[in-house]
Each structure stands twice: as structure tokens, then as C-alpha cells.
């Protein structure tokens, strides 16, 4: 099974992934898609991304879905992240219509491959500068609005049965995640 976190920057995705990894070392995991693209290829991310960056990010999401894993896998980002940020960059004239359309196509093809998608609620997580993520409040708000739009589209298309919003403290989020994954027969430890 493929489980993914998704959401705007600084909403707790990596914290939750690390909690799960630390307590469940037998699970496969993939983290830092966007940051790895930045580090390995020296490409700009966040508000500075462009056609090449977003194409590489979407290609990574394809690979993450089709890669062979030894167990269930937890991802700290999914194709929803890629299309949301690509859409924002398109709105700002930084990504071409062709790349946006390709990102939407990939997103639409991959979204059903995720068995569970947890959207992280930003309300409980402050915007923190870690040296890589954007701390621009307006950028974050616009990204959150786009996530809401894409989530709403999934709901009206009846494709949101595997999408859950997580909120609260880390412990509350982990308890909720455990309940959802238990229903999906993915056994994780949260203590």
C-alpha cells in the first residue's frame, strides 16, 4: 500500500513521516522529493521554480508510485503537492501551460494509486524558517487555497474516499493516522 502526506510547506508532513519511520523501521519511506531535487540538481524550488524543476518533481512522483518496495510505503509528498505548486507557478507566469497540463495529467493518473492521502492542516503548525522552505505568509496562503481547490475537486468527483485531513498536536495526528491505517490493514506503532 502507498500512504502519503500532502500539504503546504511547514504543515507537519516531515514530522509525521519521521515519527512513523522511527517507530516502524520495517516500513519503506520516501522523503524530501522537492528538497532532493534542489540539492541534487541545484534547481530553484518554491516561488522560484520553473518548468524543469516542476517536471522533475512530477517525474519523481511517478517513480515513487511505480518503484518496487519491500513493504507498505509512506511518502512525505505526493502528486497533489506537485500539481498544486506547479499550478501556483503557472498563475505567476513561471511555468508554461504545457508543463501545467502535463502535471495535471500525471496528477489525475496517479491520484488513485495512493491508498491513503493525509492532508496536513496548517492551523496547528507555525511557519518556521529551516533554510530551505519558503516563509512567505502570502505564498503559503495561496498554496493552501490551491490545496483546498484540488481537495474540493476530488470530493465533487467522488474520488476523495482515501483523503483525510489531519490536525491537532503531533500525538493527536498520530492517533488519527493509526485509526485510519488500521482500517486499511496497515499496522503501525505510534507509542
Using a cut of 0.85, tell me whether the model's pTM lies above it: yes
Tell which CATH architecture fits domain 2-183: 3-Layer(aba) Sandwich (3.40)
* Torsions phi, psi for 4 (to 5 deg): -135, 150
Determine contact, residues 1/72, Cβ cutoff 8 Å. Answer: yes
| Domain boundaries of the chain, sorted by first residue | 2-183
Q: According to the model, what pLDDT value does residue 132 have?
A: 66
Q: According to the model, what pLDDT value does residue 131 have?
A: 66
Q: According to the model, what pLDDT value does residue 129 have?
A: 72
Q: According to the model, what pLDDT value does residue 82 have?
A: 96
As a whole number of Å, the CA-based R_g of the chain is 16
Q: According to the model, what pLDDT value does residue 127 have?
A: 67
79-91 and 33-41 are packed helices; what angle lies between their axes, rounded to 10 degrees? Answer: 70
d(CA 27, CA 143): 30
**Grid-cell match 518554491, residue found:** 46
What stretches in the chain show pLDDT beneath 50?
none
Amino acid at each position: 500500500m502507498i500512504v502519503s502526506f500532502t500539504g503546504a510547506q511547514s504543515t507537519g508532513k516531515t514530522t509525521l513521516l519521521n515519527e512513523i519511520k522511527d517507530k516502524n523501521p520495517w516500513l519503506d519511506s520516501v522523503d524530501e522529493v522537492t528538497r532532493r531535487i534542489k540539492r541534487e540538481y541545484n534547481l530553484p524550488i518554491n516561488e522560484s521554480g520553473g518548468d524543469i524543476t516542476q517536471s522533475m518533481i512530477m517525474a519523481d512522483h511517478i517513480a515513487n508510485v511505480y518503484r518496487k518496495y519491500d513493504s507498505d510505503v509512506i511518502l512525505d509528498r505526493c502528486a497533489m503537492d506537485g500539481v498544486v505548486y506547479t499550478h501556483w507557478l503557472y498563475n505567476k507566469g513561471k511555468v508554461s501551460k504545457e508543463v501545467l497540463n502535463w502535471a495535471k495529467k500525471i496528477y489525475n493518473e496517479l491520484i488513485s494509486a495512493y491508498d491513503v492521502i493525509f492532508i496536513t492542516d496548517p492551523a496547528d503548525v507555525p511557519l518556521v524558517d529551516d533554510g530551505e522552505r519558503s516563509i512567505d505568509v502570502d505564498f503559503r496562503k495561496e498554496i493552501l487555497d490551491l490545496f483546498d481547490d484540488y481537495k474540493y475537486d476530488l470530493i465533487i468527483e467522488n474520488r476523495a474516499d482515501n483523503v483525510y485531513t489531519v490536525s491537532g498536536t503531533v500525538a493527536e495526528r498520530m492517533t488519527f493516522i493509526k485509526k485510519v491505517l488500521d482500517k486499511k490493514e496497515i499496522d503501525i506503532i505510534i507509542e
